[in-house]
Structure formats: structure tokens, C-alpha cells
Structure 1
Amino acid sequence: MDKLIDAISKVKDRIQKFGAQLRQNEMLTRYVLIDPILRALGWDTENPEHVIPEISTPQGRPDYGLYYNGTPLVMVEAKPLGTDLNKVRDIGFQYCWQNKVPYFVLTDGNVWELYDMKELGGNNIFRIQISEDTLGDSARKLLALWRPAMPNVSEKFPELVISTIQQPPKPETSKISLKDLNQQNVTYTKISAKIYFPDGKTAFTETWQGLAFEVAKWALPKLKELGKLPLGRLIRDTKTKMEKPKSLDKDWFLETFLSAKDSVRESVRILKNAGIDPATVFIEGRIIKKM
């Protein structure tokens, strides 16, 4: 599950960063956006028992055939990022109908559509848009294609992407503000989450210390502007007497010798000193509390 969340998060970032290039290049879209998702779902793209690219059929060459027990279970048609999928959907349907392949995926790396081709006309099982949907919702739906669960393909998959912390206003998501997170009276163990800042910037962390680091790095210019540095023993211009310093820039260091709870608390303190409301900074992903 961590691999899938991480892959979706990276794809989100790549869509934003490399969008112009990906819109011009189908192979790049496959390599940068589609292959990582397939691998995270258990489809080894280097193993012909799992995946055969450009599989030959009388109707053409779909981009991927996903194989299970020696037979094609899913045909995948891939297009450059931003393609109008409505114009190419029928081609993929023909691949599946003529070759008796039960499932069809159409994707541009951002939008993913899964169809049950055993039903007349092709029944849509799910549609997601990675750039707009939450990490949790995208992962839950993509798990319909999880290879270890094959040959069953269904969106009605166990809810494995569930945050164990109290949810923010939309309980179906795993997004929570740092203010609310700081008010949780629990002990945390693991985190794998994306951080959303109020100016639209994002970061990703797989450690609690990384949360404090990303917050401090983002807030550093504001702390400088407001004359809030140094910030106690947390942010200093010297490594002296710091247990585990990490460089924020060429002048300032963050003390990262922090517990999970301390990392959240200090992240909130950094934001407040930078004049930022912690309620406007969110994390989204997998957060586990100590039982």
C-alpha cells in the first residue's frame, strides 16, 4: 500500500512539473506516469508473464496486455497526457471484444478508466483523475487492478487506505491540517504523506522528522523576513550542540532529533512564528498511531 500511495504522489508531482513534455510524448507518459502505477499494483513491467507491451491483435496493437495465468486479463490503451480519451475509447473496446479480453483500461497517466468488457457496451467500474482526486480515493479505486487479488477485478475492494487519525471535515479523505493533527492526543508511529502549503507548493515525507524539515524549509524565507531567526534550539545558524542537524540552506540548520509528536508540535510552532495559520497547511496520506 505504501508503494501505491508513493507512486500516486510522485505521478501527481510529475504531471505538474513535466506536463508540457508529457502532452507531446506518449512513450514518456508511459515511462513517467503509467509504468510506476502498474508496478505499484504488482504488475512487473519487465516480466512477460505479467505484462506484454504492444501486444499484436487483428484489430491493432494495444499498448499493454496484463496477463494472469498465461492469458490476457486486461488490455491497456495509453495516450499522451491530456488526450481526449472520448475519441479513442472505442478502439480499445474493439481490442477487448474481438479478443475476448474481459477488462479494459484507458489512461493518459492522469485519468484512469477501467471497464468490464463482459457486459454489453462495456461497464465502467471506475474513473479517477490523479491530479484532482485525493491520494486515498485514487489508491482505493486503483486497487481494483491489484495483481495479488486477480482474477477478481472490482472497485468493491477492502478499504485499505484508511488514516488511523481523526478525519478532517470530509471524513472520506485522509487529509488533515497540522493544527488538527497537533491537537490529537495520540502517539504516532509511521507516516507516508504529501504536505500541502497555502501557496500551492507541495512536499512529500515518509518520516515525522521529514515533516518538520519540509515545513521549516518552506517557512524559512518568511522566518527571515519577520526576523524570527534563530528559533530557539530548533533552527540555528550553527550545528554546535545540535544532536541531528539538517541543512535548510547555506546558513541555517534544523534540529531533527525529534519524536513524531515533537515534530508535529515544532512544525506548528515554526508556522506560527512565520505568521502562517497551521490550519492552512495539510497532510494527506497514510498516518499510523500507536495502538
Structure 2
Amino acid sequence: MVLEDLHELVETLQGRIAEHGAALQQSETLTRYALIDPLLRGLGWDTGDPSQVLPEYRSAAGSADYALLGLSGSPQVMVEAKKLGTHLDVKVRQQVTSYCQEEGVPFAVITDGRRWEIYDIFQPAAMKDSLVATLDLGHDPAATSLRSLALWRRSVVAGTVVSAATPLLDVAPPVEKAPTNTTDLNELFPASTPAADPGLWHILTDFIPESGTKPGAIRFPDNTVVSTPNWADFIGEVVRWLKAHGDLTDSDLPIQVTSGATILVGLSPTHKTGKQFKTLRKVDTWFVNANYASADHVQNARSVIQLAKSNPAAFAVRLQ
């Protein structure tokens, strides 16, 4: 699919709103059929494929209109749909937030078919301040096409949806220049692959590094990138970022990720038995146990991130 196709789709949907607005304002079902489903399909989501999209997804908190699934089959985005013209107020936001929090889903979308709002549920801020992107089908088709890429399937399953009120193309690696209307989106957002290729960003959700690989850098949820020449520095920088942002505090220590006496992060470089850490990284007044293999470091990072109530999908590592 090229940006020209998406531009054409937006123009088509604008025409439907202009021609059938009165009917769409009376029916959520018609809004979904005429506006929401086509845009999702245009962004790579096959609404007829249950491995990609599940309608009426049930959770303990209620039923979301759509669950957009990642490669593992777990929901990555919950979508709450309303009929055209519905005010997307705090009540609507809270409705979809409860679904996401119940299921541990990182992103929420609310839409009336014309206006779309995308939220990062794990952003440590009030929901109104955790807006990833907005788009309005009543605006310029070219700009709307770019902004809609925040929901491009390849970016969502790769975990590169970032907290910014700008088009995804402006910030998401590996894009280095603005695309033209003839740019193939497959080139902008290559499919995720289990191979640990150097130079690619690997989200931490289910990444397992091969033996002998070394990290080159880590990318954090605020889109900052820090060099990490080895796995010991990698886990140290994860802890440092979480501490600096207030996601981990002294009250969370000591941190254990396994049963027994082994400490991962503590106020002293000792395990419960009194044995000293063999390899460590110091983060201000904290000590991080770095005596692990590469795959264990990544698993430990996931555990610490989740303990801090953050989302591993918002963190990524690039190999040397």
C-alpha cells in the first residue's frame, strides 16, 4: 500500500460523511461499517481476520468494540466506537481505559468515525495528557493520512507507537526522511522478524537475544536513545531511566525477579544471604546485579519495567 492509497481512502470517507452524515449520526453500526472498518483496513488491519481484529472483545470491565491484536495474539489496542457526532468526552475515555487496564492493553482509541484519539494507557499522566495522536477526517487529506499512520498495523505490532501529538513518521525509527506520496509503507515499516539483525530496533515484549549478541543502544518510551555497549549496561540503563522518571523508588527495593535469595536491584550490593554481587552497575545510590546471561538480562528488564507499571512494548533495543 502507498500513501496515495491512504490519501484516496480519506477523501472517500470525507465524501461519505458529507453525503450520509445524517444517517451516520443515528447509528453506531452504520458508522462502524461505513467509516471505521474501512480506515482500519486501509491501515493494514484485516477486520475479517480474527487473528488481527476481534470485534466485541469481552473483558471483566465490559466489551470493547474492537481489539487490535499483536503478533502473539494478545490485544495491543482497544477501540471504542461511537456514532458520528458523538462527543468524545471523559466518560468515553474512561470507558475504554477500564477495558485496557483490566486486560493490560497498552493503547486505547476512541472514535466517532471522523475524529480519532489515540492514548497511551501506561503513560504516567492524566489520560488527557497521554494523547499519542489525533486525526480528523474533516481536515486536509494529506495531513490526515500521515497522522493516521499512528495506527498503521506494522508500527503497532512492532511497538513503535510513541507518545507524541505528531505524525508517527516524524519520530519512529528507522525513518530518516519525510516520505513522498509514492513511498511504499512496507519500506517505512518493515515487518517484525524474530531474527536479531543488527541495526533494527527490537521491542522488549518478546525479544530473546541470541547467545553472543551485544546491545548497541536502548530506546525509551520518551524516545531518548542511550548507548549500551554490553548487557550489564543495558539493565543498568533500564533501572536508571525508571528511577529518574519516578517509576521506581527506594520503597520498591530490594527487587527480586526470582524466588530465593537473589537480589536484582538493592540499596546495597548484597543478596539476602549476604553474598556480594559478582558483577554490578551502580545507579546513583542503587546497585544492580548484572551477573546474568544476555537473555536473562532482557527478561529481567521486562520484569522490572512491569514492576514499575510501565509497558515493555514501549522499550526497544538495537544490537551491535
Contact 1:41 1:147 survives alignment (8 Å)? yes
Which of 101, 110, 113 is 2:117 aligned to? 113
Which of 168, 177, 183 is 1:156 aligned to? 168
Provide the residue aligned with 2:78 in structure 1.
75
For residues 148 and 25 of structure 1, the distance between their equivalents in structure 2, rounded to whole angstroms, comes to 31
Given the alignment of the two structures, is residue 40 of structure 1 paired with residue 42 of structure 2, yes or no? yes
Which of 115, 132, 147 is 2:153 aligned to? 147
SS of the residue corresponding to residue 74 of structure 1 reads strand
For residues 79 and 113 of structure 2, the distance between their equivalents in structure 1, rounded to whole angstroms, comes to 11
For residues 121 and 98 of structure 2, the distance between their equivalents in structure 1, rounded to whole angstroms, comes to 10
How far is 1:115 from its partner? 0.6
List per-residue Cα deviations over 1:79-128 (Å, max 9, x = no partner): 00000110411111111112110001100000000111111333101112
Residue identity matched to 2:82: K
List per-residue Cα deviations over 1:31-80 (Å, max 9, x = no partner): 00000100000000000011000000111111000001111000000000
How far is 1:163 from its partner? 8.6
Which of 121, 124, 137 is 1:130 aligned to? 137
Q: 5 Å matches for 1:262-281?
A: none
Runs of 4+ in structure 1 deviating by more than 3 angstroms, as ranges, are: 161-164
Unaligned runs of 5+ in 2: 170-174, 184-320
List per-residue Cα deviations over 1:18-42 (Å, max 9, x = no partner): 0000000001000000001000000
Provide the residue aligned with 1:184 in structure 2.
none
SS of the residue corresponding to residue 56 of structure 1 reads strand
Provide the residue aligned with 1:66 in structure 2.
68
Contact 1:54 1:61 survives alignment (8 Å)? yes
For residues 168 and 87 of structure 2, the distance between their equivalents in structure 1, rounded to whole angstroms, comes to 28
How far is 1:7 from its partner? 1.5
List per-residue Cα deviations over 1:215-269 (Å, max 9, x = no partner): xxxxxxxxxxxxxxxxxxxxxxxxxxxxxxxxxxxxxxxxxxxxxxxxxxxxxxx
Given the alignment of the two structures, is residue 102 of structure 1 paired with residue 106 of structure 2, yes or no? yes
For residues 111 and 28 of structure 1, the distance between their equivalents in structure 2, rounded to whole angstroms, comes to 16
SS of the residue corresponding to residue 57 of structure 2 reads coil
Instruction: Number of aligned residue pairs: give it.
Output: 163
List per-residue Cα deviations over 1:170-220 (Å, max 9, x = no partner): xxxxxxxxxxxxxxxxxxxxxxxxxxxxxxxxxxxxxxxxxxxxxxxxxxx
Provide the residue aligned with 1:92 in structure 2.
96
How far is 1:161 from its partner? 5.1
Contact 1:136 1:161 survives alignment (8 Å)? no
Q: 5 Å matches for 1:45-60?
A: 45-60=47-62
Residue identity matched to 1:9: E
For residues 161 and 63 of structure 1, the distance between their equivalents in structure 2, rounded to whole angstroms, comes to 34
Provide the residue aligned with 1:6 in structure 2.
8
SS of the residue corresponding to residue 122 of structure 2 reads coil
TM-score (norm 2): 0.49
Flag the structure with larger Rg. 1
For residues 48 and 168 of structure 2, the distance between their equivalents in structure 1, rounded to whole angstroms, comes to 29
For residues 11 and 180 of structure 2, the distance between their equivalents in structure 1, rounded to whole angstroms, comes to 14
How far is 1:2 from its partner? 2.6
List per-residue Cα deviations over 1:154-180 (Å, max 9, x = no partner): 34325335599xxxxxxxxxxxxxxxx
Percent identity reads 40
Provide the residue aligned with 2:249 in structure 1.
none
In angstroms, what is the RMSD of aligned CA positions?
1.7
Residue identity matched to 1:88: V
For residues 58 and 179 of structure 2, the distance between their equivalents in structure 1, rounded to whole angstroms, comes to 36
Residue identity matched to 1:119: Q
